[in-house]
């Protein structure tokens, strides 16, 4: 009798059936089909946040420069593709002075800057007529811009800053 019980137990201990394994694989496939698009969406949102952060940092630097600069000051903002850094340069000084250098976000491809006012609050200038635009094609929105009058704008509502 005891041998019969042990033999029956050994016969049942053969692992999972093919149907059980297929059910597990199907469930894992369904979970992956739900999770992968959500992950990709979060990555694009993170790229957007990087671009917005870059625009805010550049806007702060530009505002600070024009608030203290003489009326004849001219500023340029460039993106180096080799070092992947923004450089803010005062081109009125002789020789040209690098006002600020900061790292750019990973997928930023272009930066545009325009200024139409007169610098220097103390000299009657207007530091509220500038515009900065950062382009990041890896995000949901291809570009973000910021200006004192328009605030932060993204996508099709981003200013051209020309």
pLDDT value of position 117 = 66
| Residue 77 · residue 63 · CB < 8 Å | no
Residue 130's CB: how many other CB atoms inside 10 A?
24
Tens-digit pLDDT string for the chain (162 aa): 566 566 655 556 678 899 999 999 999 999 999 999 888 888 889 999 999 999 999 998 888 887 777 767 788 899 998 898 999 988 887 788 888 899 998 889 999 998 876 655 544 445 567 889 999 988 888 899 998 878 888 888 788 887
Structure tokens at 88: 């803010």
Task: Return the structure tokens found at 112.
Answer: 């545009």
Contact in structure between 79 and 104 (CB atoms under 8 Å): yes
One DSSP character per residue, 78-134 reads EEETTTTEEEEEESSSSS-EEEEEEEPPTT--EEEEEE-S---TTTT-----EEEEE
Domains recognised in the chain with CATH numbers: 46-157 (3.55.40)
Q: What is the C-alpha separation between 131 and 115, in angstroms, rounded? A: 6
What pLDDT does 124 receive? 47
Q: What pLDDT was estimated at residue 147?
A: 86
**Are 131 and 113 spatial neighbours (Cβ–Cβ below 8 Å)?**
yes
Q: Which residues contact 4 (CB under 8 A, 6 or more apart)?
A: none
pLDDT for the residue 23: 97
């Amino acid at each position: 009798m005891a041998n019969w019980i042990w033999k029956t137990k050994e016969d049942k201990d053969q692992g999972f059936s093919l149907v059980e394994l297929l059910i597990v694989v199907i469930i894992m496939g369904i979970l992956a089909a739900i999770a992968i698009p959500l992950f990709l969406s979060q990555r694009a949102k993170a790229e957007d946040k990087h671009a917005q952060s870059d625009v805010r940092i550049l806007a702060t630097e530009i505002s600070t420069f024009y608030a203290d600069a003489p009326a004849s000051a001219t500023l340029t903002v460039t993106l180096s593709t080799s070092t992947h850094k923004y450089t803010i340069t005062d081109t009125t000084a002789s020789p040209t002075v690098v006002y600020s250098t900061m790292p750019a976000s990973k997928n930023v491809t272009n930066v545009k800057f325009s200024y139409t006012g007169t610098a220097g609050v103390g000299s009657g200038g207007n530091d509220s007529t500038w515009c900065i635009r950062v382009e990041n094609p890896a995000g949901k929105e291809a570009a973000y811009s910021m200006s004192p009058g328009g605030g932060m704008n993204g996508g099709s509502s981003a200013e051209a800053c020309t």
